Structure 1
Amino acid sequence: MKQLLIVAHAPSPNTRRLVDAALKGAGHTDIEQVSVTWKPPLEAGPEDVLACDAILLGTTENLGYMSGALKDFFDRTYYAVIDDKQGLPCALYIRAGLDGTGTRRAVESIVTGLRWNWVQDPLVCKGEWQDAFADQVEELGMYMAAGLDSGIF
């Protein structure tokens, strides 16, 4: 059984909808060999990253940067996982009130340092809330889990 870890900040009902959508997609009935775990960034640690086979990151855009919670996650895990998790398949979604550029750049910088592998470009859900954001994140969760299930990554 492969392990997909979702580390996503969900401080509002809408961002919680995004987490639920990612879990729904990753838990699709056709995906049989993947176990999915969601941890809020302040609860996730190096042991979670070391135990996973892929990671899906989710954050809000806060003052043009990632959430403080996701930054804290990276601060606590970076050096503990850098040697053992190089090549870890990863993806990112951003709930951005503006354009998500600074948030994306910040997360990409850290992921580059960790030498994780992007499985697709970051998904930026920007502007006013749209129900389509949940559909997009659900597809992303399904894509991540299906990729693990089929051995693509």
Structure 2
Amino acid sequence: MHPVLIVYSTQTGRTRQLVEACAQGLRADGEVAVTVRVAHDAGTDDLLRSHGLILATPENFGYMSGLVKDFLDRTYYPAEGKTIGLPYGVLVSCGNDGRGAVSAIERIASGYQWKAFAEPLIVRGDPDADHLAQARTLGETLAAGLSVGAF
């Protein structure tokens, strides 16, 4: 089993919908053990156990949520050098364009030396069936890559 961590924050429930769909995709082949944590409950141990990571956030004021940023701040030094090459993906729910949140996450992920395995999924407004299918596909992609040793 490949452990994958999903760290998220939500106020409206939109991000949670994307997280649930992504988790379904991760679990589809039965080879991934998914841990879903609200950002303030996630910690270094969760991160260090993971073979893959999904960061899911609303875009707040053109940036990732403060709770997701807090997770990244709290885990950086304890995990420094221990998660190099970790495959990660990004889910953003937003009312604007989501680019500020993605840019900030990508900048921090480069400091961790993580590797994006897919383009970020940015969803403007309420997620519809197509958005949820894309979130599931993101999970399936990570699961497949882990299963065949691509990541």
Give TM-score scaled by structure 1 length.
0.93
Shift of 1:50: 0.4
Q: Please, what is the CA RMSD of the aligned residues? A: 1.2
Shift of 1:43: 0.5
Residue number in structure 1 paired with 2:3: 3
Shift of 1:130: 3.7
Residue number in structure 2 paired with 1:83: 81
Deviations 1:27-76 (A, max 9, x none): 11xx2322111111111001001000010110100000000110110111
Q: Which runs of 5+ in 1 are unaligned?
A: none
Q: Is the 8 Å Cα contact of residues 5 and 54 (structure 1) preserved in structure 2?
A: yes
Shift of 1:13: 2.8
Q: Is the 8 Å Cα contact of residues 57 and 91 (structure 1) preserved in structure 2?
A: yes
Alignment of 1:34-45 (within 5 A): 34-45=32-43
Give TM-score scaled by structure 2 length.
0.94
Distance 1:100 1:32 in 2: 32
Q: Which runs of 5+ in 2 are unaligned?
A: none
Shift of 1:86: 0.8
Residue number in structure 2 paired with 1:129: 126
Q: Is the 8 Å Cα contact of residues 8 and 70 (structure 1) preserved in structure 2?
A: yes
- Aligned match of 1:71 in 69, 80, 84? 69
Counterpart AA for 2:40: L
Residue number in structure 2 paired with 1:13: 13
Task: Percent identity, please.
Answer: 39
Distance 1:81 1:65 in 2: 23
Distance 1:37 1:61 in 2: 22
